[in-house]
Every structure is written in C-alpha cells, then in structure tokens.
Amino acid sequence: MSMFCYQCQETAKNTGCTVAGVCGKKEDVANMQDLLIFVLKGISIYSTKAREFGIENDKVNKLVFDGLFMTITNANFDKDRFIEAIREGLKLREEIKDAYVKAGGIIPENLHESATWTGNTVEEFEAKNDSIGVLATENEDIRGLRELVIYGLKGLAAYVEHAFVLGYVEHSIYAFMQKALADTTNDNLSVDELIALVLETGKFGVDGMALLDKANTTTYGNPEISKVNIGVSNKPGILISGHDLRDMEDLLKQTDGTGIDVYTHGEMLPANYYPELKKYSHFIGNYGNAWWQQKEEFESFNGPILFTTNCIVPPSKKSTYADRVFTTGSSGFPGFVHIADREDGKAKDFSEIIELAKTCKAPTEIEKGEIVGGFAHNQVIKLADKIVDAVKTGAIKKFFVMAGCDGRHKTRNYYTEFAEQLPKETVILTAGCAKYRYNKLQLGDINGIPRVLDAGQCNDSYSLVIIALKLKEVFELNDINDLPIEFNIAWYEQKAVIVLLALLYLGIKDIHTGPTLPAFFSPNIAKVLNEKFGLTGIGTVEEDIKMFMNK
C-alpha cells in the first residue's frame, strides 16, 4: 500500500485509506503528515527530558501544537507546508536537545529513532515513510490505543492553538501533550497503561476546552441567545469558514465600511452569538450548511471564501470558485492563496481578499429565514430554574446530547431521523457541525425552551459538560449519570475524539457514537471500552429511541 490512514470516520471500508484519502489527500501528503508526527515525537522526547531541568521552549510548544493541528482531517493538503514544518522540527529538536545537554542532561542509550533520525532532502523524507507510519506498530491493540491518544492530542492542539492566538497560554497542557507523544514511542507500556494515558488525555482535553472557553468569552463576551439570518443582502460578501474567532474579528474590522458583507459558513456559525462580533452591521449571518456541502454552496456564494482551519473539501476540476478560496493558519491547499500568520500580535492582512470581494457579485440566495443559537453554559444556566421546573413537572423527560460532527455518508440521515422521531418531551443539546442535521427542523419548544439548544462549535462541547454538572448540582445528585441526559454523539475527525475522551474522563457512561465506531478501535479495545464505560455504537432510530427513553 502507498499510504495508510484511518483517523477519520469516513476512512475507506471503515478499515483504512491505502491509495488516497477519502478526504481528498494524496499519498505523498499523507506520508509527509506521518513523518511530521514522527518528528514531533522526537522533539517531545527531548522537551520532556528538558523540563526536568526547568527548560521551557516556546518555539517547541508552538511547533508541536501547530504541527498536530496541520494533520487534522481536511485541514491541510499542501505538501510543501509539511516539508517546511518537518525541517523546522528537526532544527528545533536539535536545539532542545542541546539545551538539555548543556543543563546537565545525559542522552540515554536506545533512544527511539524519532529522536535520532536526520534527513534534509525531500527524497530522504519520502524514503523514511516506509518504516514510520501507523502500521509500524504491529500489535493492533497497542497501535489503536497509541493512535487514540495521538488523535486526541490533535483535537486538543486545535483548541489550545485558538486560545494561544487570543493570548491564553497554559504550559501544563503543552507539557502533557509532549509527554504523551513521547509515551507513544514506549514499547514497554501495557494496554492498561495506555488506557490510563487515554483517560489522562481526556483530562487535559477538559483543561484545553476550559482554557479556550475562557479565552473566547473574555475576549468576545458570553454567547447570547441569537436569531441568525440565513438569507443574503444585495452587496458583495466574504464567506468565512472554520473555527478561529480571532481571524473572524480581524476580517470584520478590516471590512467595516468597505461595502463588503461577511457571512459565516459551517463551524463558524457560532461567531454570530458573540456580542463583540455580532455588533458589526455588515456581519449578515450564516450562508449554507455543514462543511461537506461546500462545493455547491461556494459556487453560489459568488465571492471569496476564507478557511481559517480544517473542513476543506478539494474542489472539482469543473469548479468556478477555486481561484477565490484563501487559507490561513494551519489550513492549506495547493493553488489556494495562503494568508500569512500575524507578526508581533498584529492583525492578519486580509486586504487581498477584500479587494477581490469588491469585484464579485452578491451571493445567490439559497434559503431564507433564521435559526436560533447561543445556548452556551452561561445562557442555559440562566434558564436553570425554568429547566428544573420543566423536568419536575414532566414537561421535559430527557435531554439528548447530540454534539459532534457531520459528514457525507447517507448513514448520517440517522441523526435527522432521530431528532424528528424523539418524543416531544425531549430537548437536544448540541455543539459542532452535527447540528446541521436538525437545526433547521421545526421541532418547536417546551414552555418557551427551544427543543434544540445549540451551544456552539465542537470545542463548545465544554458548555454541555458545564450544563450537565450544574444540573447535577441543582438536582442534588451524587453521580452525573443519574441525570436524565443521554449521549448520542456523531463523530468525524479528531476534535470529536478529544471531546469523547474528555467525557470518558469525567465519568460519563453509556455514550453512543456513530455512525460507525472508529476503525482504530480493535475488537479488543472496543470490548474494553464497552465494559469499562458502556461505550457503544448506534442501532436503528426506532430501537435506540426506545432504549434511551426506557432507561
């Protein structure tokens, strides 16, 4: 096989992509991503040892979380960017190694090869790929648990990167990420020890989401319950996708007064809920749906598109929009113009996008109306008395956490049908792009409480945890699992993985995830996770609703 990747839910035959990624990445890019992860492990071996001497290298910290973020599904397809990151990584590995030795550290024998391998040319990089990919770990149980940790770290990297650009830094999280990467090279760790590492990854997942929540809400205010326009204006627009709120802010400031309107797409929808962002009059609303529908929606939008993070779908050869797509941050695609990172904390320069937008016609309207969101923990806790009363009177019998990701598979129609068929005495708590399967359905409300409460982006799953913990306190329960809350979560990529690990760490049991269990769950690992945590897949809509409602 020319590559191997099974980190996303749509991996070929639910076993692994071996020729090209279902996501659209080519084998050369997949292999460079594997090599970058390999190099990050070597850096992490030395940086973890250096911390024993009080050495903290900020350049190493940033490269590790940026490098992990770049390899998330649908984030970056640009081979040259990975080659550049690998070279920088090898340079920083030697820098942190030298600092460790100068501080009195002793280089141990039999170091993992990731800490010693050197290469410089593309040919050397390509030759190395044969021996360092996912399948280099032969035992499928050990392999699956190592990859589960790594994929969790990739999701965590996205969250700490977003916090970092807002000025929020947490060295304890960086230290753990690097220690965990180093631990995935340790052949002496048992299955039980690796499961403990998985849960520890979940613990830092909670910390990472809390850090980002603090960064976002301190900078932009607590999300407000908001009606979001899904129609269009008659002015040219820029469509911004992804998750980075700082990029959103920079774009709104630079387009203010230019006659250019701004729209969100996909996971950027929750930007419409933040008071410091929604105050801009040219911030029109949201255009379109989840990431996988972008080919049709980008055609009809007519203006420039900016990707701030992952969720890129490679355009077809017949597309008319490819020359008006831009990337920034960890995202990238060959042929798309890439907007450089900030210098010295200043704003990014989006002038090229703005000038292009001025030459484009207004978006073609694809729908009209409004959707309601902004039910993050601060807002929902304000409704606590109303919610508790509805539960006590039987008006609300169950809450269903249906957070996570959307995707292309027809099997994901399950989540629309599940939402439609839920009894009227139930409320859906959601975050992430999974919401697009049901957030435009007319499901009504219960005593004024909408039956779909959207907390925000995938990282805002933290809000759902805070809400559950608050309800546990209000109802004076000892165990969060005694709440009338069920977890039926859709996953697609690695940010959903870290959310799952965070929930497991918090002791939440009987989580259902789908539409399929991860391919990196070996049969033994799936069995262990089921026995320890009740983690399982989905069944039919009718059977699952009956099972949940009778619990």
pLDDT at 58 over 90: yes
Out of 3.40.50.2000, 3.40.50.2030, 3.65.10.10, 3.40.50.720, the CATH code matching 383-549 is 3.40.50.2030
Region of 535 (left: φ > 0; alpha: ψ -120 to 50; beta: rest) is: beta
pLDDT of 183 reads 98
Contact 526, 193 (CB under 8 A): no
Query: For residue 250, what are its two tokens?
Result: 């920079």
Residue 132, SS3? coil
Contact 306, 249 (CB under 8 A): no
Who has greater pLDDT, 551 or 315?
315
Domain 226-357 and domain 383-549, same fold? Reply is yes
CA 433, 438, 444, 446: dihedral to nearest 10 degrees? Answer: -60
pLDDT of 335 reads 95
pLDDT of 481 reads 95
Spatial separation of the C-alpha atoms in residues 187 and 284, rounded to whole Å: 54
Spatial separation of the C-alpha atoms in residues 354 and 255, rounded to whole Å: 7
Which H, E and C letters describe 189-244, residue by residue? CCHHHHHHHHHHHHHHHHHHHHHHHHHHHHHHCCCCCEEEECCCCCCCEEEEECCC
pLDDT of 201 reads 98
pLDDT of 23 reads 96
Contact 10, 515 (CB under 8 A): no
pLDDT of 1 reads 76
Going by C-alpha positions, the residue among 269, 273, 261, 470 that lies closest to residue 380 is: 470
Q: What CATH fold (topology level) applies to the domain 1-136?
A: Substrate Binding Domain Of Dnak; Chain:A; Domain 2 (1.20.1270)
Q: 109-152: per-residue pLDDT in tens? A: 999 999 999 999 999 999 998 789 999 999 999 999 999 999 99
pLDDT at 52 over 90: yes
Which H, E and C letters describe 255-321, residue by residue? HCCCCCEEEECHHHHHHHHCHHHHCCCCEEEECCCCHHHHHHHHHHHCCCEEECCCCCCCCCCCCCC
pLDDT of 130 reads 76
Query: For residue 204, what are its two tokens?
Result: 């830092």
Spatial separation of the C-alpha atoms in residues 87 and 92, rounded to whole Å: 9
pLDDT at 459 over 90: no
Contact 481, 291 (CB under 8 A): no
Residue 141, SS3? helix
pLDDT of 496 reads 96
First to last CA, the chain: 46
Residue 534, SS3? coil
Contacts of 376 (CB under 8 A, 6+ apart): 217, 222, 223, 273, 455, 456, 460, 463
Q: What CATH fold (topology level) applies to the domain 226-357?
A: Rossmann fold (3.40.50)
Determine the angle formed by the axes of helices 461-474 and 191-220, rounding to 10 degrees: 90
Contacts of 465 (CB under 8 A, 6+ apart): 206, 209, 502, 503, 506
pLDDT at 438 over 90: yes
The domain spans of the chain are 1-136, 226-357, 383-549
- Please, which pLDDT band fits residue 86 given cuts at 50, 70 and 90? very high
Contacts of 288 (CB under 8 A, 6+ apart): 239, 265, 266, 294, 297, 301, 366
Mean pLDDT, range 463-472, rounded to an integer? 91
Q: 272-303: per-residue pLDDT in tens? A: 999 999 999 999 999 999 999 999 999 999 99
pLDDT at 312 over 90: yes
Q: What DSSP state is assigned to residue 17?
A: B
Spatial separation of the C-alpha atoms in residues 343 and 199, rounded to whole Å: 37
Spatial separation of the C-alpha atoms in residues 64 and 201, rounded to whole Å: 16
Spatial separation of the C-alpha atoms in residues 278 and 272, rounded to whole Å: 6
Going by C-alpha positions, the residue among 290, 241, 239 that lies closest to residue 261 is: 239
Residue 372, SS3? strand
Residue 99, SS3? helix
Mean pLDDT, range 392-409, rounded to an integer? 95
Contacts of 107 (CB under 8 A, 6+ apart): 97, 101
Going by C-alpha positions, the residue among 83, 443, 431, 155 that lies closest to residue 267 is: 431
Phi, psi of 474, rounded to the nearest 5 degrees: -65, -40
Q: 477-528: per-residue pLDDT in tens? A: 999 999 999 999 999 999 999 999 999 999 999 999 999 999 999 999 999 9
Query: For residue 402, what are its two tokens?
Result: 């249906």
Q: What DSSP state is assigned to residue 169?
A: -
> Looking at the whole model, is its pTM more than 0.95?
yes
DSSP string over 403-449: -B---S-GGGHHHHHHHHHS-TTEEEEE-SGGGGGTTTS---EETTE
pLDDT of 206 reads 96
Burial class (CB in 10 A: 0-12, 13-18, 19+), 473: exposed
Number of neighbours of residue 21 by Cβ within 10 angstroms: 24
